[in-house]
Structure 1
Amino acid sequence: MNTDSTATTLSPALPPAQPYQRGGTLLLVEDSRLTADYVRLMFRSAGGRLRRADCLRSGRRHMSLYTPDAAIVDLGLPDGSGLDLIAEMARRRPRTGLIVATSGDPEMEEEAFLAGADRFLPKPFGSGAAFCQMLAPVFFGLRGAVVEQASPGQAALRDDLYLALDLLNGTGTRPAYALQFIAQLACMTGDFALERAVIARDMAQVIALLRDRLRALPLI
């Protein structure tokens, strides 16, 4: 995984800082298990609860039951844009204390802020320190935390590779979403060959590379 430091961007209209909390809830709306594992590992010191939704529908279901203390929302989801969910979170009362938009496309930053996000976190994620600093105003356990760089397991990578192949083979999948998911996976893992194949839209090569990556992983 790329470990280069990546700074988050703050919205010019960032709401007043919330009091530090113990045991708060972070809602992660993210389709990639690899990214979700990274966030889970980074969040271990928070002393809070992590809840994950893998699509807009699931994210809305969570929001109908509770208001999270913070939320990280991927902008590219299988059933639509995370911008819609961010706008709903920003309008909701009580409002989610910290709404973070995340995307592998830096050009989405302005749209994220217009939708109501407080911060923008580009992918691939940077250092664990930057991640913890971003969430520290909401989660007491991350204040001054010393966190080692997260290394998600191979099971998470395997799941994302299988999902990528399923997206390419699925009849109901939006082609643009499938390519966006695979491009993000390539970026998160530093797989430049896969990234070039996606940019070239060489689908035969993309499929061949995904299968090669799966065969290279150990069975256990």
Structure 2
Amino acid sequence: MTDIFDDFLFPRRPTAERPLLGQTVLVVEDSRVAGETMRLMCLRGGARIRRADSLRSAARHLTNYRPTVVVIDLGLPDGSGLNLIRKLSASLPRVPVLLALSGDSSLESAAIEAGADDFLPKPFGSVSEFHNAILRRLPLEERPRGPREITNEIVAADEDALLDDLALLADLLERSTDRATLSYATNFAVGVGRSVHDEDLATAAASLALQINAGRSCESEIALLAAMIQDRVRSAALAV
């Protein structure tokens, strides 16, 4: 009979089929679409996973949870993921694998400078590419032995996750009265658009973000993005 302590007394080794077996992953990501996609990819590899949707939530997890891999989105509702990367990179003992994540590839150098081991852009690639981003940072003894099949398998979150993200965006754009909230909303929209390969949404949000950051008046552009999101809310609701 299998004992509940077997995983601690006899740690299971990773295999070619489940290369992340034995790893514990904390994903710090506010988007349900991106978070659910990473959850599915981690489970494919045999890893255990938890998700935090903010810096505050991540701090609570890290109080009692010792992950071997932490993946941090750089744009979070209560601050920049760069701050958490700096903290975890400097902590002792250090997290074995510390990865940054963003829909804005221009942030890669800042993430590496802050202490991230690697940068993952949105949209995600294949399951194998995601696994490799983790495996190449792990000690050799924690990687699977022998050859491993590399596939082009892609996983995606369901429509419920997308609907939640779109509903949040609609709410943020409707009640946003300050530049900081608008900036967060547009960056969130860029990430969601890229995660689901909706280039029209990502492009419109990125263009609006540039105008907001430049301090320009952009009420009409905000209304256009809000209308675009409402169209997608209706489409996603019909697909659920």
TM-score normalized by structure 2?
0.76
**Aligned-residue offset at 1:71:** 0.6
- SS of 2:88's equivalent in the other structure is helix
Q: Which has the higher contact order (CA 8 A, sep 6+)?
A: 1
Alpha-carbon contact 2:187-2:206 (below 8 Å) kept: no
Between structures 1 and 2, the one with greater helix share: 2
**Aligned-residue offset at 1:141:** 6.8
Mapped partners of 2:23, 2:144: distance in 1 = 10
Mapped partners of 1:197, 1:66: distance in 2 = 38
State the match for 1:15 in structure 2: none
| Deviation sequence 1:118-172 (CA, Å, 0-9, x none) | 1111111112211111123546579836562102111111011001112213357
Distance 1:203 1:92, change over 3 A: same
State the match for 1:16 in structure 2: none
**Aligned-residue offset at 1:24:** 2.5
Residue correspondence of structure 1 range 5-24 to structure 2 within 5 A: 22-24=21-23
- SS of 2:93's equivalent in the other structure is coil
Mapped partners of 2:98, 2:181: distance in 1 = 26
Mapped partners of 1:155, 1:216: distance in 2 = 12
Mapped partners of 2:99, 2:120: distance in 1 = 7
State the match for 2:42 in structure 1: 43
Larger Rg: 2
**Aligned-residue offset at 1:65:** 1.6
- SS of 2:62's equivalent in the other structure is helix
Out of 160, 174, 195, the position equivalent to 1:188 is 195
Alpha-carbon contact 1:197-1:203 (below 8 Å) kept: no
Give yes or no for the alignment of 1:211 onto 2:230.
yes
Alpha-carbon contact 1:67-1:95 (below 8 Å) kept: no
State the match for 1:197 in structure 2: 204
Alpha-carbon contact 1:98-1:118 (below 8 Å) kept: yes
Q: AA paired with 1:174?
A: T
Out of 150, 156, 159, the position equivalent to 1:151 is 156
**Aligned-residue offset at 1:41:** 1.2
Alpha-carbon contact 1:47-1:140 (below 8 Å) kept: no
State the match for 2:134 in structure 1: 135
Distance 1:141 1:204, change over 3 A: farther
- SS of 2:26's equivalent in the other structure is strand
State the match for 1:3 in structure 2: none
Q: AA paired with 1:214?
A: V
Distance 1:146 1:118, change over 3 A: same
Deviates more, 1:141-150 or 1:207-216: 141-150
Give yes or no for the alignment of 1:164 onto 2:163.
no
Alpha-carbon contact 2:159-2:239 (below 8 Å) kept: no
Distance 1:42 1:146, change over 3 A: farther
**Share of identical aligned residues, percent?**
39
State the match for 1:117 in structure 2: 116
Distance 1:177 1:49, change over 3 A: same
> How many corresponding residue pairs?
202
Distance 1:145 1:134, change over 3 A: farther
Unaligned runs of 5+ in 1: 1-18
State the match for 1:6 in structure 2: none
**Aligned-residue offset at 1:93:** 1.5
Distance 1:126 1:67, change over 3 A: same
State the match for 2:55 in structure 1: 56
CA RMSD across the alignment: 2.4
